[in-house]
Structure 1
């Protein structure tokens, strides 16, 4: 009898934890302004090239100063995508598109968050677009990659010491890459909107490149990883190029207002999968959910011709599918969840999908609210639009520490965060402290394998994050979880800015009126 009572109390205790853990995680509050500031700082740590006088990440120095020299072109600049030193064009362009989208939708919120952050956001975008201008050396030529992933991954060096190959690879009309050209066109079109009033000349230049790249990608069609085989093991274009062409067309329509780009997105909606693919993922590779969101904005605002209505309505139905899947209200076809409530797509670098989902949820909430729609129809029943906002917040809070590990997955934020990030520059003593050359094998022997925290904090980086059971191992060799990427952090710029604004207005704060329990999902 005593054993039965003991088991009964244990079961009760477990049930209490399960019931009240969501309430506990909701009670946590975060400094979203600080998170925004740190997220923008991270991009300075990922810069390649000759760093400016106002560089804030002091442990990072000039690097890649001869990029493109072998090919007779200036490819100095841009971003390293993650913890290595290859400059991959596709994820870099997606990063810039998402940074630009954040500024377009949440310009006022970013400016109000903290002094100087709006300028830092513009600088982060321009560091990428300046590089894209260099990389687009001819209407039908775009340099796709600098460096070789295979040789780079056999070496553990600081970027200032690089001895690995800086071979550059391009796409052209004989070796097409419509996905890369399309994403770069989208990035430059979106950035042209950002700079339209601040720097009209630069905005016009970006738009010119965007239009040329879109025409190039559409005329000479093909996947870029068929032309640049070296990228296949790292950023293969699994979704193909059709989503990027639709994505670019809608960004060009938003930048120019020209009907020809909207006509393109409508006429090719079926053939290119825009109204055929119902997605539960939005990422550097798969853009369909983003395409569907942009089309839905046009529909909700009435910025389309009557003849376009049937297709635009189908775009919206697919956007709704993505949102309902994230909310767990999609008749079984939902995004998986970890026990702690994290949206879960796949094992490798899952937080990239969490951050992009949080952004789309936040943006869709804004679009529906502007159209005075308070409900969204999901297969499992109507959903209040406030639930989109609450889910976006729950995912942002999960990243910042409201999770079973009680760990912030944004480096440098909070009291507990990953200290063994899989990142060459952060894991080796700063070049400014010790400028002696460190070779490939020496880097592995002396720095990669040592069981001590990184000497440099990669502030603002969002790492790959935990597995489907909310478990995370902070180990430099555990690159699936501890490597950070630019496209993990980029979508969160807008999310943090919006959450910060909402937190400052409690009287009108929808979050204070909307309880959100992981048990309902």
Structure 2
């Protein structure tokens, strides 16, 4: 890295340390985080230089090149399902809020392309087979080892015509379709290739239906089991293909399969496993613009979801911590916070464009109210909370120091060039010392229901960053980085 590059990274780390939230600084950091999650040979422009090349032979045992892509969290496995959702959300962030990203737009595009280049490789054997994971998760989770050193099995896993994976394939189709919109103007050839791949992947997902966790079992469970079923990913993939192509075939698919694929189920969930709330918000735009009045049910479900987020409503709504953070029981709560905040902002824009608000009993969910809820979540993440702690690493004066992340917690190759074995990293896992490498922009799982956070590397539910926390956060921070209103 050049001296200028080193200075720029230091500048990114220190920006936003005091005063009101600095959304532009947080946006830059949220995108920079993805460079710390890269697998494969790192480019000359790599800014987080404590990371080095890793997993350079992925796929070689199957005579296929599966080098590249992202590690999903603090481990060294490339799980295709959450990687695809991460990519969809990064692309959706650019589609909706790219005009607000300024100089960070190119970095956001680079983050998307790092994933889509990998997906081209992973789907190159379609329509017979699709690779959906690299790295044995059981072997990996028994080690605490830098990605540059890992010597655990790099087993690759696939779905095929007899062992289907409509969920991971449907999400990958959505990712490629959404990404095709991102590159439509700047790289039309790449965009068209993405769209062609998305169409082929979706056809594979739809023709050979089934959940990938049923096909791969303990290879993906309990890590990324498909708990909600594959049906939502088929509707989600079709919705993105319609958005990218304008082809009514996909809109009719969403409509005619509404009942058989359970579009009215679990409407208040959105994340790597369950797409229902995001699906309803995405499809509701077609109804709001008058393009498809037959999709009224999706609009109704989207409205119900939005009303559930208003704490002042008398009906059932999501829980909030005493400090005001959206809270759902389970691990990595910040994934819910960022994805829900993103949907609030997207739907607020949709409502504004059609001059509408949502009746929620005795109160009204206006676009301004939705944005104010999302802003409160962003500000909480960035330090306006009972602990005065930023949950984004490298942002603010106080942020998590002991995140559950192998590469961040162990000395870099530069500082410790000797090979570290599978169990050799245990001393760094168990130490209470701060992580030596700052994973700038990483947002951890977050505090408990009482706004308490222990900053303990061992407590992965609170201290582990994941790509699908940051992906929707990119869009939300982009909105507030340019927005001049005080919500």
Equivalent in the alignment of 1:83: 74
In 2, Cα distance between equivalents of 1:199 and 1:331 = 49
**1:221 aligned partner:** 209
Q: Distance in 1 between matches of 2:321 and 2:34?
A: 29
Listed one character per residue, the Cα deviations across residues 138-162 of structure 1 (whole Å, up to 9, x for unaligned) are: 2222101101111101101110001
Asked if the contact 2:159/2:212 (under 8 Å) is kept, the reply is yes
- Picking from 100, 104, 121, the partner of 2:108 is 121
**2:94 is the alignment partner of 1:103:** yes
In terms of fraction of residues, the more helix-rich structure is 1
* Match of residue 240, structure 1, among 229, 239, 259: 229
Give the whole-Å Cα distance in 2 for the aligned partners of 1:257 and 1:325. 31
CA distance in 1, matches of 2:274, 2:473: 18
1:472 aligns with 2:463: no
- Shift of residue 427 of structure 1? 0.4
How far apart in 2 are the matches of 1:60 and 1:433? 12
Task: Quote the RMSD (CA, aligned, Å).
Answer: 1.2
Give the whole-Å Cα distance in 1 for the aligned partners of 2:312 and 2:213. Answer: 36
Task: Name the counterpart of 2:4.
Answer: none
Contact 2:389 2:398 in 1 (8 A): yes
Structure-to-structure mapping, 1:20-35, within 5 angstroms: 29-35=20-26
SS of 2:201's equivalent in the other structure is helix
2:284 matched residue in structure 1:
296
TM-score in terms of structure 1 length: 0.88
Count, aligned residues? 468
The answer as to 2:443 corresponding to 1:462 is: yes
Q: Where does the alignment leave 5 or more consecutive residues of structure 2 unmatched? A: 1-17
Residue 180 (structure 2) pairs with residue 199 (structure 1)? no
CA contact (8 A) 1:277 1:318 kept: no
Rounded to whole Å, the distance in 1 between the matches of 2:233 and 2:35 is 27
Q: Secondary structure at the match of 1:192?
A: helix
Tell me whether 1:179 sits opposite 2:170 in the alignment: no
Q: 1:178·1:245 contact (CA, 8 Å) conserved in 2?
A: yes
The answer to whether 1:152 aligns with 2:140 is yes
Q: Check whether the contact 1:181–1:217 (CA below 8 A) recurs between aligned residues.
A: yes
1:315-326 → structure 2 map (5 Å cutoff): 315-326=298-309
Is 1:357 aligned to 2:357, yes or no? no
> Is contact 2:268–2:276 with CA below 8 Å preserved after alignment?
no
User: What is the CA-CA distance between 1:501 and the residue it aligns to?
Assistant: 0.6
Q: Which runs of 5+ in 1 are unaligned?
A: 1-26, 515-521
Equivalent residue, structure 2, for 1:265: 254
Shift of 1:300: 1.1
Residue 228 of structure 1: SS of its match in structure 2?
helix
Please say if residues 91 and 178 of structure 2, whose CA atoms lie closer than 8 Å, have aligned partners that are also in contact: yes
Structure 1 position 381, deviation (Å) = 2.9
TM-score, normalized by length of structure 2?
0.94
Displacement of 1:207 in angstroms is 0.7
- C-alpha displacement at 1:256, in angstroms? 0.5
2:398 is aligned with 1:411: no
Tell me how far apart the structure 1 counterparts of residues 454 and 48 of structure 2 sit (CA, whole Å): 26
1:368 to 351, 356, 362: 351
Judge conservation of contact 1:278–1:321 (CA < 8 Å) in 2.
no
Displacement of 1:232 after TM fit?
A: 1.1
Shift of 1:29: 2.0
- State the match for 2:273 in structure 1: 285
- In the alignment, the residues of structure 1 paired with residue 368 and residue 439 of structure 2 have an alpha-carbon distance, to the nearest angstrom, of 34
2:158 aligns to what? 170
Deviation (angstroms), 1:333: 1.9
Q: Displacement of 1:376 after TM fit?
A: 1.2
Equivalent residue for 2:326, pick from 343, 362, 365: 343
Q: 2: CA distance between counterparts of 1:152 and 1:475? A: 21
